[in-house]
Amino acid sequence: MNRTRLALTLALTLPLLACSDEDDADESGDPGAGSGDTVPEAFSDCHASDGDATELGEAAISGDTLTIGASYGGGCEAHDFQVCWDQSFMESEPVQVRLEVWHDANGDSCEAYLSETLQFDLAPLKQAWQDAYQQESGTITILTGSGSLDYTF
């Protein structure tokens, strides 16, 4: 379990470190560096269909954290996950957003069926809403591949 948490923490943290020069990626000593697949930035306009297959499970929100179950094939490589958003609010009451989970299997051809719980920080989504609507508190209905839930802050 601790190994899974470490891998997930690295998968969610590494995109933040990717802001350095591209030339540095191959010098990192990481065998996956420079592999050709680019992990999208959190809340960027990517599409889950551009990544590897993932079956999303139950989702929940606690504070500013979205927790969602993910199942996928693999078992031999570390997998990267990221949340994607097209930066638009669908006008309704409350407003809605569609979030997708992007998955990079890093070429993992193993066939074990793995399940884990992913966590994503929703603070950037909250900040975008606050900037757009000039209010401190509100509710956003989040649509995921596994259903919808309300994010109230």
**Token output for 144:** 């995921």
Question: pLDDT tens-digit profile of 103-149?
Answer: 999 999 999 999 999 999 999 999 999 999 999 999 999 999 889 99
CA separation (Å) from 126 to 65, 139, 148? Answer: 11, 9, 16
**pTM, full prediction:** 0.70
Neighbouring C-alpha atoms within 13 Å toward the C-beta of 8: 15
d(CA 55, CA 27): 34
